[in-house]
Structure 1
Amino acid sequence: MTNVLFVCTGNTCRSPMAEALFRAKGMEEVQARSAGIYAAQGMPASEGAKTVLHERQIAFGHASQPLTDELIDWADIILTMTKSHRDIVHQTHPKAMDKAFTLREFAWDDKYGADIADPIGGTDETYRACADEIDELLDQVMKKLKQW
Structure 2
Amino acid sequence: MQRILFVCTGNTCRSPMAEAILKNKKIDGFEVKSAGIYAATGSEASAHAKKVLDDHQIEHDHSSTMLDTEAVRWADVILTMTASHKYAILQQYPETSDKVFTLKEFTGEEFYVDVVDPFGGSLAIYQETYQELDQLITKAIEKIQSSQ
Which TM class, normalised by the smaller chain length? over 0.9
- Residues 1-148 of structure 1 correspond to what in structure 2 (within 5 A)? 1-108=1-108, 110-148=109-147
Give the distance between the partners of 1:76 and 1:88, measured in 2 at CA.
18
Unpaired stretches in structure 2, ≥5 consecutive residues: none
Moved runs in structure 1, 4+ residues, more than 2 A? Answer: 110-114
Cα-to-partner distance string for 1:129-148 (whole Å, 9 max, x where unaligned) = 00101111011001011122
SS of corresponding position for 2:106: helix
- After superposition, the C-alpha distances for 1:59-79 in whole angstroms (9 at most, x for unaligned) are 110000000000000000000
Report how far residue 111 of structure 1 moved: 4.8
Cα deviation, residue 120, structure 1: 0.6
Residue identity matched to 2:65? Q
Q: Which amino acid aligns with 1:141?
A: A
Q: Does the residue aligned with 2:79 lie in a helix, a strand or coil? A: strand
Letter in 1 for 2:59: A
Distance in 2 (alpha carbons) for counterparts of 1:2 and 1:59: 21
Name the CA distance, whole Å, in 2 between partners of 1:105 and 1:47. 28
SS in 2 for 1:52: helix
Deviations 1:83-140 (A, max 9, x none): 00001011011111110000000011x3543311110111110100001011110110
Give the TM-score, by structure 2 length. Answer: 0.96
For the aligned residue pairs, the C-alpha RMSD in angstroms reads 0.9
The percent of aligned pairs where both chains have the same amino acid is 46
Task: Report if the CA contact (8 A) 2:8-2:35 is conserved.
Answer: yes
The 8 Å contact of residues 107 and 136 in structure 2, kept in 1 or not, is answered as: yes
Which secondary structure state, in structure 2, belongs to the residue aligned with residue 3 of structure 1? strand
Q: Does the 8 Å contact 2:103/2:113 carry over to 1? A: no
- For residues 43 and 89 of structure 1, the distance between their equivalents in structure 2, rounded to whole angstroms, comes to 21
**CA offset digits 1:33-87 (Å, max 9, x no partner):** 0000000110000001000000000111000000000000000000000000001
Which amino acid letter does the alignment assign opposite residue 120 of structure 1?
Answer: F
Unaligned runs of 5+ residues in structure 1 are none
